[in-house]
Amino acid sequence: MITLENVSYAYPRADREAVSEITLTLKGGECVLVTGHSGSGKTTLCLAAAGILEHEYGGKKSGRVTVDGKDVREYHDLTDISTRVGILFDDPDSQLLFTTVEEEVLSAIERRGFSVAEVEERLAQVLAVTGLEELKDRPPHALSGGQKQRVVLATTLALGTDILILDEPTSELDEQGTESIVRLLEEFKAQGKAILIVEQKFTKLASLVDRIVVLENGRIRNEGPPATVLQDEIARRTLIPDFSGIRTRSPAVNGSVPMVCTRGLTFSYGEEEALSGVDLSIAQGEFVAIVGENGSGKTTLVKHFIGLLRPGKGTVTVDGKDAAKAPIAELAHSVGLVFQNPDHMFFADSVFDEVAFGVDNLGIPGREQAVMDALATVRLTAARDLYPRWLSRGERQRLAIACVLAMQPAVLILDEPTTGLDGSESREILEILKQLQEKGHTIIMITHSREIAGQCADRVIHMEAGRIADDVRAEAAHG
């Protein structure tokens, strides 16, 4: 269905190729998983396979790509190619143009020469299989990340093309959401469709995948059936996250000093109650994971620790300070919050200046040393003069941690620090966090992944509908 022969490509003004000498075949009824570190060329490979590089991008190209037996250059334009290939990009927000879910899906199928009845039938069908019937009148931009991904998937599937290229279609879905997408794709595969999918969650997709391609610096490092590829140690660590050995006996947890303490914490967004009566105490030096479905109140809870939200009712004390009243700048001396998307913070021209921003704001003495220490901890010393946005996603995530770390807070909070990272990059982040815990920091991490929570944290707090449903010490839960 798709062949790539010796494809190399460099973006305009880039000094190295994004993909090099890629040769790959995708057959009908087959699912190929593309994986690798962030910045290894996965998205570029998708753009090449869909013929988009050929038609829409400048830069240096070589090699040949065919879709359905025809050279992509012979297709008239993207609209022409889109009748053969359905493609989904990794950022759902850039693919939502309209104000209702139904309009969004219609926009993908109403310019294809179908009859009215056919369009209506496809619309109803695709809304049903993606579970969007109840959301059809809602504005897509106001949905949750996972719901947005389902809307974008629906627009991709609506055309019924035989080839699907999906770039991280489940990155923001929780486990249940991911399973339902996998079942759907299995059905498509059984119908003979060809699927090229970029994902980091191999373990969740194992039943679907026939072949794996592991990219490294734009080149294919491994290719073959899962059993063969998994024999390679490095590929295995990329595909199957291994967090063993990260949790050691809890060091220096000082149970008598509560670092974070909430009593009867209640908070509402308008009329919607997001937290109801949360009582929580986190000791100095603990490594705590907070898990729960989208919308269960995880982020709302931690925003109270640094004063970004103030309690409606109840109290919050952090490092002895009243977090209901203390100014954010004062709380920032005690608490560092690393948000989910590192791109929400970068604005400086160099990695060094980016980290120095927080240090300067808080007036921390020994500026140069504070910045370089933080960069050394996250293993980015060599990148000090680079432009932050040129780093890979994994490096940007580590930089975000350094920015907060350099401010020397006692408590470090991270919101989904492993989103979009492969197994070995995720492990690297968790090793850094563990190291920080050993130095005496209190670590609070929000995560979707039960594996990470269960294998790395000393304590797992499970949130459900704004309450703490479960609070388990890891030793007790996992022996």
Partner 1 sequence: MAEILQYIPGDGIFHRLHPVTKILFIIIVSVVTILTSSIPLLAGLLLLIFLLAFAGHLLRPVIQQMILILLMSIVIYLITILTVQDGAVIGYLVPSFIPLIGGSIPITVGALTVGTVLTLRFAILISAFQLFVISTQPRDLVHTMERARVPVDYTLMFIIALRFIPTLQIEGKRIHEAQLARGYHPGDGFMGRIRSVAPVMVPLVSNSLSRATLLGLTIDLRGYRTRARTRLRERTFGIADKVAIPLMCLAGVAFLYGFLTSSLL
> Does an H or E element contain 283, and which?
strand 272-284
Among positions 219, 303, 384, 467, the unique one binding partner 1 when judged by CB under 8 A: 303
The contact pattern for partner 1, residues 370-399, with x = CB under 8 A and - = no contact, is -------------------x----------
The minimum distance between CB 413 and partner 1, in angstroms, equals 9
Q: Identify whether the C-beta of residue 126 lies closer than 8 Å to the C-beta of residue 105.
A: yes
Q: How far apart are CA 403 and CA 345, in angstroms?
A: 9
Would you count residue 87 as binding partner 1 (CB under 8 A)?
yes
The minimum distance between CB 63 and partner 1, in angstroms, equals 21
Kindly state the tokens that stand for 311: 């309690």
Would you count residue 71 as binding partner 1 (CB under 8 A)?
no
Q: What's the CA dihedral at 46, 52, 56, 60 to 10 degrees?
A: 60
Q: Which is nearer to partner 1, 357 or 450 (CB)?
A: 357
Choices 83-91, 201-209, 287-295, 432-440; region in contact with partner 1 by CB under 8 A: 83-91
Q: Which residues of 351-362 are buried (b: 16+ CB within 10 A; e: fewer)?
A: bbebbbbbbeeb
Q: Which is nearer to partner 1, 121 or 175 (CB)?
A: 121
Q: How far apart are CA 315 and CA 59, in angstroms?
A: 57
Q: How far apart are CA 282 and CA 438, in angstroms?
A: 16
Would you count residue 404 as binding partner 1 (CB under 8 A)?
yes
Q: How far apart are CA 301 and CA 323, in angstroms?
A: 12
Among positions 79, 191, 248, 254, the unique one binding partner 1 when judged by CB under 8 A: 79
The minimum distance between CB 249 and partner 1, in angstroms, equals 31
Ranges assigned E (strand) in 27-108: 31-36, 60-67, 70-71, 85-88
Would you count residue 78 as binding partner 1 (CB under 8 A)?
yes
φ and ψ at residue 31, rounded to 5 degrees? -120, 120
Kindly state the tokens that stand for 85: 């290939």
AA identity, residue 342: P
Q: How far apart are CA 453 and CA 385, in angstroms?
A: 34
φ and ψ at residue 22, rounded to 5 degrees? -90, 125
Would you count residue 146 as binding partner 1 (CB under 8 A)?
no
Choices 111-119, 174-182, 197-205, 425-433; region in contact with partner 1 by CB under 8 A: 111-119
Would you count residue 457 as binding partner 1 (CB under 8 A)?
no
Residues 48-67 contacting partner 1, CB under 8 A:
52, 56
The minimum distance between CB 436 and partner 1, in angstroms, equals 17
Q: Which residues bind partner 1 (CB under 8 A)?
A: 52, 56, 77-79, 81-82, 87, 89, 91, 93-100, 103, 106-116, 118-120, 137, 139, 141-142, 155, 303, 306, 308, 328-329, 332, 336-337, 339, 341, 343-347, 357-358, 361-362, 389, 403-404, 407
